[in-house]
Amino acid sequence: MKKGTKDKNGMNFSVLNRSEIIDELKGQEFDLIVIGGGITGAGILLDAASRGLKTALIEKMDFASGTSSKSTKLIHGGLRYLKQMDFALVQEVGTERAIVHRLAPHLVLPEKMLLPLVENGSYGKLMTSIGLKVYDVLAKVKGDDRRKMLNRKEALALEPLLPKERLKGAGYYAEYRTDDARLTIELIKTSLKYEGMAINYMEAMDFIYDEGHISGIKARDISTGNSIEVKSKVVVSATGPWVDELREKNKSLEGKRLHLTKGVHLVVSHKKLPVKQSIYFDIPDGRMMFAIPRGKITYFGTTDTDYKDSKENVETNAIDVAYLIAAVNQMFPSIELKDDDIISSWAGLRPLIHQDGKSASELSRKDEIFISPTGLISIAGGKLTGYRKMSERIVDRVIKKVANDTKPKFLECTTDKISLCGNEFRDYEEVQKYIDDIFGKIKTHGLKYQNAWYLVTTYGKQTEIIMKQFHAFEHEDPEWRLLRAELHFCTEREMILTPMDFFIRRTGRLYFDIDSIRSYRSEVISEFFNLTNAAGAKMEQWTIELDNELDRHSNFESVEV
Ligand code: FAD
């Protein structure tokens, strides 16, 4: 595969090649089928494929359309887990941060976090100082990235919006941030270089059994309604919030179960909440939340409430909005945010493991593996940040099942050394130089530094392919030329099936630049229609669906309490 375009057989990862990919899926027996194309499934796919296991991943909607596009988008050690005394989890995810940054320094960016200490807050100065120190030691943080304790004046200099009267100082420490959906798609694209293949909009409907043991799956192509069967020695369910559904289908839903909690984030323009940097702060009910500036916007969250409704349609409601706005206004009193200021939002489900007597916020974030008597391996829980180690643990188990006399050995896990697609950088400094480079090339066309930053932190070195297209197009509006070039890239190389896949999960525009969708929605829909030779009614259908999505993410229903 060159620059993220083709798999090892030279096939494009594109809707235009979808039928060939499905034929290939039907025509062979795999070592492993992974059900679920979130971060966990994508991580397992890359780990298994790079160790020599012939592996296929199927996802029922778009890749990362479950929880893996709805997180806080931090690659973080999870300071709150220290409070829960979960040292092993802090150590694992804390150490993983630097590794994941190295694998994709353009996509997993260093982000300093400010933890304000306020009167009656949950962390005192001494506890914060010790806690952050332990955090650094567990995660082996080095040099300038080690935590600093700031006095009130220093904290206010970093963030003048903090509440002057109540502020006592702050902790200042290192984390990373990312785009969760892009991390997922780049993992999937990287696995195509090895023994991996993947398809979205393909739902696992049932299992095939051979003498009581799973030997494959029955799946349905959501885009055509056609059913297929795929054979495999092992099947892993990495279906996040849907794990128990598949366990039930396999008649193995016994013992521990999932406990779903909803987490909401709200988006306002950066001008409305002009925080200078990321902040992790106390809120009145004793929880903590994040406010994170990102280009034109600031997002904040999250909630953590028990959830029992439809998993397919998780929505932000007026109660979530009121809760989050009140929390922000309390920490940043000069801001006075109102409901009308919210321009976008997202709501996701944490697939946690139920523990009797524990509230949503108290439940452990550790992952759990279930192995059924029929051989189904299910994994749930865990963190975006810990996807690599979770995948390694799963693939170690798969290998034990697959290894036989003819294929006794598979490679060790090397995913800590496999750069993700788009990464041809030695370090983060090179990423920054490359952003400057790209800016140098686009500013003559009237484009801004922000455009260069966005391209590089979204696509890394694949920006070059997009720039080539940009130069090939002619139009007086450079923003549209760039967006059009991006659309071609994602259609030809990132398996988008609808304009929503493009606007929501490949580019994050629904969350980070919703106005650009409103400005260019007709152009994108009609270009995608032409590019994919879609059938007549599709244009209208996509327009309605996209309008619904815009509405769903920016208008909130009141609910009865
Ligand atoms: P998912 O992403 O939900 O993937 C499961 C996939 O399986 C879905 O795409 C679904 O469509 C598919 N599927 C289901 N059934 C079938 C079927 N029958 N056939 C085919 N496909 C199927 N972690 C961090 O490290 N950092 C954070 O900042 C962070 N913030 C968070 C904030 C919130 C609000 C939440 C909810 C979680 C957060 N997390 C964070 C945790 C992290 O996001 C999750 O642990 C992770 O995304 C779970 O990924 P997954 O792949 O297991 O599940």
Residue pLDDT, tens place only, 122-177: 778 888 898 899 889 988 888 888 999 999 999 999 999 999 999 999 999 999 99
pLDDT value of residue 481: 97
Using the predicted structure, report yes or no on whether residue 3 has a pLDDT greater than 50. Answer: no
Q: Which atom from ligand 1 is nearest to the alpha carbon of 202?
A: 20
Question: Which atom belonging to ligand 1 lies closest to the Cα atom of 350?
Answer: 36
**Residue 35 or 93, more confident:** 35
For the ranges 118-132, 220-234, 328-342, the lowest mean pLDDT is seen at 118-132
Give residue for tokens 């994170």: 292
Task: Please check whether residue 114 is in contact with residue 175, taking contact to mean a CB–CB distance below 8 angstroms.
Answer: no
Atom of ligand 1 nearest to the CA of 386: 25
Ligand 1 centroid to 480 CA: how many Å?
A: 32
Asked if residue 260 has its Cβ within 6 Å of ligand 1, the reply is: no
CB 191 less than 6 A from any atom of ligand 1: no
Percent of residues, the chain, with pLDDT higher than 90: 81
351-360 residue pLDDT tens: 998 877 777 7
Residue 1's pLDDT is: 38
Question: Is the model's pLDDT at 373 over the cut of 50?
Answer: yes
Q: Following DSSP, what letter does each residue of 119-184 receive, concatenated?
A: TT-SS-HHHHHHHHHHHHHHTT--GGGS-EEEEHHHHHHH-TTS-TTTEEEEEEEEEEE--HHHHH
Indicate if ligand 1 lies below 6 Å from the C-beta of 261: no
Q: Ligand 1 test: best mutation among 71, 100, 324, most atoms within 8 Å of CB?
A: 71
Beta bridge partners of 203: 220
Atom of ligand 1 nearest to the CA of 383: 45
What values do phi and psi take at 233, rounded to 5? -70, -40
* Residue nearest atom 31 of ligand 1, based on CA coordinates: 71
- State the pLDDT at residue 281: 95
Q: Give the model's confidence band at 205: pLDDT under 50 very low, under 70 low, under 90 confident, else very high.
A: very high
pLDDT at site 560: 56
Residues 484-507: what's their mean pLDDT? 97
The closest-lying atom of ligand 1 relative to the alpha carbon of residue 73 is 28
Residue with tokens 């409601």: 317
Cβ(272)–Cβ(413) below 8 Å = no
60 lines ligand 1 (CB under 6 A): yes
pLDDT of residue 354: 84
pLDDT for 385 equals 95
Q: Which residues pair with 196 in a beta bridge?
A: 55
Helix residue ranges, H only, 203-347 = 243-249, 318-331
Torsion of CA 135, 137, 139, 142, to 10 degrees: 110
In the beta sheet, which residues pair with residue 282?
288
Half-sphere exposure of 419 (CA within 13 A, CB side): 14
User: What mean pLDDT is predicted for residues 27-51?
Assistant: 97
Task: Yes or no: say if 282 and 118 are a contact pair by the CB < 8 Å rule.
Answer: yes
Cα separation, 555 vs 65, in Å, equals 20
pLDDT band at 507 (very low <50, low <70, confident <90, very high): very high
Say yes or no: CB of residue 43 within 6 Å of ligand 1.
no
Question: For ligand 1, is residue 384 a contact (CB within 6 Å)?
Answer: yes
Question: Where do we find the tokens 């027996």?
Answer: 29
Q: State the pairing for strand pair 196-199/55-58.
A: parallel
Q: Higher pLDDT residue, 121 or 398? A: 398
Residue 4 — pLDDT band, cuts 50, 70, 90? Answer: very low
Cα angle: 372, vertex 373, 374; to 5 degrees: 90
Closest residue (by CA) to atom 18 of ligand 1? 204
> Residue 530 Cα, ligand 1 centroid: separation in angstroms?
33
For the record, the structure tokens of 367 come out as: 């992952």
Distance of CA 404 to the CA centre of its chain: 36
Cα 245 vs. chain centroid, distance in angstroms? 22
Cβ-Cβ contacts under 8 Å for 138 (sequence gap 6 or more): 77, 87, 90, 91, 94, 95
241 CB near ligand 1 (under 6 Å) = yes
- Cα 240 to ligand 1 centroid, rounded to whole Å: 5
pLDDT band at 487 (very low <50, low <70, confident <90, very high): very high
Report CA-CA distances (Å) from 560 to 38, 360, 557: 32, 20, 10
| pLDDT digit string, tens, across residues 279-336 | 999 998 889 999 999 999 999 999 999 999 999 989 999 999 999 999 999 999 999 9
- Residue 298 in contact with ligand 1 by CB distance below 6 A: no
Q: What type of residue sits at position 101?
A: H
Residue 319: how many CB atoms within 10 A of its CB?
17
pLDDT of 445 > 90? The answer is yes
Separation of CA 34 and ligand 1 centre (Å): 14
Cα separation, 174 vs 528, whole angstroms: 40
Secondary element (H or E) of residue 216: strand 213-221
Q: Is the pLDDT of residue 98 over 60?
A: yes
Beta-strand runs (E) in 2-141: 29-35, 55-58, 74-75, 109-118
pLDDT band at residue 11 under the 50/70/90 scheme? low
Whether residue 185 has its Cβ less than 6 Å from ligand 1:
no
3 state DSSP class of 336: coil
- For the chain, what is the mean pLDDT? 93
Measure CA of the first residue to CA of the last residue in the chain; give whole Å: 53
Token duo for residue 203: 């739902």
Residue 559 confidence class, pLDDT cut points 50, 70, 90 = low
Determine whether the shortest distance from the Cβ of 350 to ligand 1 is under 6 A.
Answer: yes
Residue 561 confidence (pLDDT) above 60: no
CA of 465 to the centre of ligand 1 (A): 30
* pLDDT, greater one: 122 or 234: 234
66 Cα nearest atom in ligand 1: 3
d(CA 154, CA 169) in angstroms, rounded, equals 8
CA-proximal residue: ligand 1, atom 51 (nearest): 38
Contact 404, 376 (CB under 8 A): no
Q: Which of 101, 222, 239, when mutated, tests ligand 1's pocket best, judged by the most ligand atoms within 8 Å of its CB?
A: 239
Distance 499 CA to ligand 1 centre (A): 22
Q: What is the pLDDT of residue 27?
A: 85
Lowest-pLDDT range of 156-160, 361-365, 391-395: 361-365
DSSP 210: E
- Structure tokens that stand for 373 in this block: 């008597």
Residue whose CA is at the smallest distance from ligand 1 atom 26: 74
- Ligand 1 site, residue 183, Cβ cutoff 6 A: no
And the tokens for 131? 């806690």
